[in-house]
Every structure is written in structure tokens, then in C-alpha cells.
Amino acid sequence: MQRPESELVELSDVVDARYGGKALGLARLAAAGFSVPAAFVIAKADAAGLPAGLEARHARLAGPDGPVAVRSSASGEDGAESSFAGQYESVLGVRGYGELLAAIRHCAASASSERATAYRSAAGISGAMHLVVQEMVDARAAGVVFTADPASGRRDLCVVDAVPGLAESLVDGSASSDHYEVDRAGRIVDRQVAPSPALADDEVMAVVAGARDAEARWGTPLDLEWAIDRAGEIRWLQARPITTLPGDLDEMDSTVAGEDHVYTRCNIGEMMPGAFCPLTASVSGRAIEYAMQMVQVTAGFQDSYREDRWLQLGYFSGHLFLNMTEGTALSSGILGNSLEQYSLSIAGRVVDELVPKPPKPFARRLVNTVRLTAFALSAGRAIRRLDRDLARFEAPSAAEPAALLAELDAATGLYDAATLTHVRSSARSAVAANVLEQTLTREAVRANRDEDEGRSQAAALMAGAADVESAVMLEHLDDVVGRLAADSAEAEAFLGSDAAGAVIRLTGAGGPAGRTFDEFLRRHGHRGYRELCMRDPSWADDPEGLGTIMQAMLRARLLTGDAVRTSPSPQEGVSRAVRVMARLARAGARGREATKSRMVLVAHRLGHGYRLLGERLAATGRLPDADLVFFFDRSELPALVGVGDAGDLIDRAEARRAALPYQARLEFPDVCVGKPVPARPKPPEGIEDGVIAGRSACGGVVEGTVRVAATITQARELRPGEVLVAPVTDVGWTPYFTLIAALVTDIGSSVSHGAVVAREYGVPCVVNTRGATRVLHTGDRVRVDGDRGTVTLLEHAPASS
């Protein structure tokens, strides 16, 4: 076979990727005016057939003995899909024509190496080997810069790694580099450097500015190599797309309602924990947005519902946030609700970043207060109307995708109504709970006692509500576990199976345990972890998750013999007025939990409907798989169901799906001014002498071993008697309350899910620690004081934990 003819190509003549990505990157940098060391390309390099004029061209580049670098630029290398990093050889410091020939042979031969051949085969790439011969830079410092963080996927960060001298020690891993992360505002937000850094801060910023300029010209995030010569000039040695990035984490972000608006994950993070797919944001998120806007409309703070705007919430980097600035309309527009009270109820602290809105005239505030109070207290009528609508509601199930989408669109109206009803019920619950807490706190202060004692007493009085949905659900599941425990053969079989198999075997099996379990699924099967997510499974759809929980409960029951027991509300020494307020608070909690269950039922059926839509579209070849349907905005679905080309839309959905795991790892400050930006976690406030300060949600003092569980999956490792430390809990965590000695959460309030259920079962609970999950570690020993709202670290976990 005839070998391809090798030739010399000037960098200025490289206009596309035919000579490899490295040559094209250098050519584009040079054409854009970046300082690029002089270079030429050997096309179709082959040691057996060198191009004519090579010796003369080398002499013009480097003179008789000037050093050059010989680098591969093979077809497909440093492209948008594959980097080929480290697959081919480069040779630096080449002096003289003889060394150049040896370097060319070495680099050309690397194309036939086993590792390069395997990489090309896996990537489905074939083509010629080209080489770049480039003037060497006498570098004082060198390194790489990424215009997006390849580790986190964040495109708002530039990552710079630098070493003294040449960058090869950085690339081959033989030297530890200085590391900088720079945000789009030009701030160095993280640095890890040697005592004598390779770069000054202004040089870091100059590298970042050049990289951002190149990124803007390319239109995509880049990985660039650079060097600073002895004269202080930045020389650019390579530019290539970052091939490992997921989709843009911010692609689906909502518009900020105001640059000075204060957003928080507190409160909304309890209902919507973690990152969510775009369909969930455009269905569940918009339902919550609708409900909260309608509260503002009812109270006279807003003229009408704005379907085109996110006002009360925001959707950023896959997470939902509460807009506290919009919420301050309540504190300025009604009686008896100050900005401080509003801040405490949402974030657990006075939010200094919040700017109060000018107070309305007294008469206007009085009218607004009456209207809002009547709206909250009349939730009963709305609940009865919702129940009638739910009785007629059938899960969307049409055979044709277009008809199914029409059914889903119609059902979102019911979801909006159910969410508004839940918000009304929650407002009724919060009013009673806040009045009770404020009353007892004032009484404690007047009696020269600590405010925490008043809060603890209020928490105790809110316990004992009959028929609270979360508690009833736990009782029903515990009843199933008790029936399994009562039959040793059933218990052995259940524990001897894998988690999913145990639940599948029990479903429809008959017998006391089987019938009780079927009833549990009928009444509570729509509940679960992150239960407003259109994509995540409910308990009925997740036999492995539910089975894992039940097996843990069964082991604990066999070990201790204990069933769950409700904790009665203490009544001794309490005035009649306080007892009435406590009764109203308990009734409010009961109503709040009941309407949440109705709301989740609609979400559950919608989620099933959207999954069915995905299956219908996948069956016709319109989607590559059913799950991808959850990565479209609801407004995009008509185009997907239509007959036009949806290729670009599907590509974007694939990128969003790849981005979700990265979004899930992001953490945010408890409050942000303007667009929320992820931040590196900081130690929480309120820590002094090993004591973490939070808010009391259920009294009692216990000592125990910590189990930190950032996710429901990690909670599966819980052992009986441990102290559960979690960011937040929702209904999906409820069954684990049968195992724990105490509950500690990062966020939350006295009416949070965790607080409500903890009170029903007398589990000491401290909420709103604002970071206990970052301070404590699994295996630590702590004292949880639910009366004072504190967690004291007694002993660090053993090193082997």
C-alpha cells in the first residue's frame, strides 16, 4: 500500500480540523491575535517519508540550535468529542535537525502504540498522524486553564493550575501545582498554593481574562495551555474544547426577579430537597409559584397571577429557591408580622440582607390582614372542593401521545388547585404555631427564663395531634412490620430476601402481614422521598427502597421488641388560653399534612402520566428512551409530540440529563442576593466549644452515636439508637424515625415534617442548625438537647469509622 505523502503546512494555512485539533487550536489563537509561539505543521507525518524543505523550515523556526517542541496533532485529537490526552507522545527541548528527525520518528510511532490504537477504536476515530513543530518558550511559569470547572461542571468558574518553569511536570503529574478558582466577577474564590506561588494574583487574572476571551470566540468552554516567559508575556500553547463537561448547569435557569432580591433554599428546601429535572420545575415548581402568587393576589399585594414570571420562587442550577424579597410584602402589608418574624420563620435567623418594603397605611394593612386570615381559615371549604375533584380525577392514560399530553395539560390545573389548597392549609397551621410559640416565649422572658424554654414548651404542646398523616403512615407501616415480626417464618423469609424481592413477595400475598401491607400501599403508596418530583419513584414504585426501610425496621423490632408509640401533649400547668392555642396548632398540623398528601397524590399521577408519555414516544422512535421525557420543559413537549424535527431538542435534553448529577452535588449559602451562586461549604454559625446551636422542635435529652445521611440512600445504613443528622427530612424519611434516638437537621422549623413527626413519637429534635451535616461525622458521639435546641459534640468518631 502506498504511504500518504507528507507535507509542510504553515499555521496560517490551517483553517479546519483536517490537520488535527491541536494545529487548529493554535491557528485560531494566532489568527485572533493571541501570542502564540511560531510553529508549522508536518501533515501525514511518517519517519519513512519526510516532507521536502523540512530542514530549511526548521532552521527558519529555531536557528541552528534553538529548542523546539514536537507535539502530535492527529485526526480527532483535541476535538470536541475526544481529547486523546496522553495517548500520543510529545518531545520537548529538541535541538538541531538530527534531534528533530528522532523526535518525529518517536511521535509518529506513538500512533501505532497499543494504548493509542485501543483509544481510537473505542472512540470510533481513524485518520492520519500530523505533528506540530513549535518554538519552545523559556517559561518562568506555565500551566493549564479551564474556562469551566471540569470537576463540578460549573461554567461560572475558571480553574487555573500553575507550576514554575515548564508545564510538563504538571501534565505528567510529577509536580504539585498551585490551584486557583476564579468566578465571573473576577474574584479568586479558592486557592491552594505553595509558600512561594508560581504566579502573582494579577497574573492569574490575566490568564483568566485571556482564556475567557478565547472561550467567547470559540463559543464553547476551553482547556488551554499557557506559559509566561521571562519577559512576563503570556504565550498560548494549546486550546481545545473541554470534552468531559455535562450540559450547562444553568441552561434552564429562571430570570432573577430583581438583582437585589434575596433568595433562599430554606423552607422550600424541605418541600423540594436537592436538584430536580426540568419537567419537575415546570410542573411542580410552577404549581407552587402559582399558589404563592395567588396568596399575594388574595391579600392585595399583587394585581393578578403572572404566568410568564417566576416571582415567588426561582429555579437555578436545578434547585428551587424561595424569593424572600417578594415575601416581605406580607411583613409590610399586614398587621402583626414584622420583617424579623418573617425572616425567623423562613431562615431561622434575622436576614440582614433583606430590605423591608415601605409599610402600608394602617387601614390598608388591616384590610389585607382580614382578607388573608379569612383566606387561610376558610381552607376547609377548599379542601372539600378538592376532595370532590380528586374523586373524579383519573390518571392520564390516552393511547396517542398528543391526546395523552392534552390530558396531562388539563391535569396541571388540578395540581395548581391542590397546591394552593395546601398553601392555605399550611398558612393556617403556621399562624397557630407561631402565635403559640410567641406567647410562650414572652411568658418565659417575663418569668426571667430563657426564650428556648418557651420554644421547647411550645414544641411539647404541639405533640399529640391525632390522625397526623405522617404519623399515621408510620403507624401503618409499623403495623406491617409488627405482623411480620410475630411470625418467625415470615420474618426470616422477609429478611432473607433482597429488599426488592421481599416487598414483591409480600405484595398480594394474603395473610395478616400481606393484607396489611396491601392496605398500606393503597393508602400511602403515592408517598415517598422527594415526592413532588415527576421522575423519582414513590414507595409503590420503588420496592427496593421501601424494602430496605422495612428490613431495617424489622431488624430493630426483633432486636428491641418496641413498636412506635405516640407522645401525648403535656397539659399540666398550662393555662386554658394556651391549651386552646395548642389545640389549634395541632389541628393545623393535621390539616397541613392531610392537604400535602392530596397534593402529592396529584403529583404522583402526573408523574405516572409523563412516564407513560415517554414510553409512548420511545415506542414510536421519537425518543431514545422513556426517561428522557423528564428533561424537557413542559412548554417544549408540544414540539416533541409533533411531527417536526426534534433532534436539537433531544440533544439538549440529553445534555440536561448529564448535568443533573452535577447539579445535585452543588451547595448554596442559606441566603443569596441576586442570582444564587454555588459556594464551597463553610462551617456553620452557632458553634462554640463544641456546641452547635439550632432551634428546639421536640424536647428531651439523649446521647448517642451520629449517623450523617445527606441522602435517603445513606439513611439506609442507620442502626437502632443512632442520632440521625440530615440536611432536611421529608415524608420519605419517616419510617427511619422508628430507629433513631434523636433528629438533627440543617434547616427546618417547628412545623417542618421532621419536627412534626418527631413530636408525635417523643424523639428529641433540633432543627435549623445551618450545617450540622458538615461539622459532625458518622461515628461521633453527641448529646442532643431538644429542650435548649443544642447539639454537643462529646467524642469524635474513631479513626476507623
DSSP code at position 126: -
Give the pLDDT band (50/70/90) at residue 431.
Answer: low
Check residues 466 and 425 and name the one with the higher pLDDT: 425
Read off the pLDDT of residues 717-749 as tens digits, 9 standing for 90 and up. Answer: 898 899 999 998 887 888 888 889 999 998 887
Is the predicted pLDDT of residue 319 greater than 80, yes or no? yes
Q: What pLDDT does 36 receive?
A: 96
Taking only the tens place, the pLDDT of each residue in 495-517 is 999 999 999 999 988 889 999 99
Under the banding of pLDDT at 50, 70 and 90, the label for residue 466 is low
pLDDT score for 751? 65
Handedness of CA 690, 694, 695, 696 (dihedral sign): negative
Flag whether pLDDT at 337 surpasses 80. Answer: no
Is the pLDDT at 171 greater than 70, yes or no? no
**pLDDT in the model for residue 216:** 96
List the single range of 272-286, 624-638, 735-749 with lowest mean pLDDT. Answer: 735-749
Residues 92 and 84: their CA atoms lie apart, in Å, by 18
With a cut of 70, say whether residue 684 has pLDDT above it: no
Where are the strands (E) in 242-294, listed by range? Answer: 262-264
Distance (Å, rounded) from C-alpha 239 to C-alpha 757? 56
- What percent of the chain is modeled with pLDDT above 70? 89
The pLDDT of 3-32, averaged and rounded, is 89
Among 468-482, 486-500, 751-765, the minimum mean pLDDT is found in 751-765
Q: What is the pLDDT, as a whole number, of residue 801?
A: 45
Range in 150-164, 390-404, 441-455, 760-774 with the lowest mean pLDDT: 441-455
Helix-strand-coil split of the chain, %, nearest 5? 45, 15, 40
At residue 407, does pLDDT exceed 90?
A: yes
**Cα gap 124→87, rounded to integer Å:** 15
Query: Average pLDDT in the 324-351 region?
Result: 81
Q: Is 178 helix (H, G, I), strand (E, B) or coil?
A: strand
Contacts by residues 185-192 (CB-CB < 8 Å, ≥ 24 positions apart) = 189/157, 189/679, 189/680, 190/680
Decide if 300 contacts 368 (C-beta within 8 A): yes
- The pLDDT assigned to 752 comes to 74
Distance CA 727, CA 721 (A): 19
Helix residue spans in 335-468 (DSSP H): 339-347, 362-377, 379-392, 401-446, 451-461
What DSSP state is assigned to residue 91? Answer: E
Stronger pLDDT, 380 or 5, i.e. the higher one: 380
Q: What pLDDT does 364 receive?
A: 86
- Strand locations in 694-771, DSSP E? 695-698, 701-708, 723-726, 742-745, 765-767
pLDDT of residue 79: 46
The pair phi, psi for residue 564, each rounded to 5°, is -70, 145
CB neighbours of 691 closer than 8 A, spacing ≥ 6?
790, 791, 792, 793
Highest mean pLDDT among 453-462, 525-534, 565-574, 752-761: 525-534
Q: Which helix (H) or strand (E) holds 139?
A: strand 139-146
pLDDT > 70? residue 2? no
> Mean pLDDT lowest for which of 535-539, 683-687, 688-692?
683-687
Res 626 pLDDT > 60:
yes
Q: Is residue 174's pLDDT more than 70?
A: no
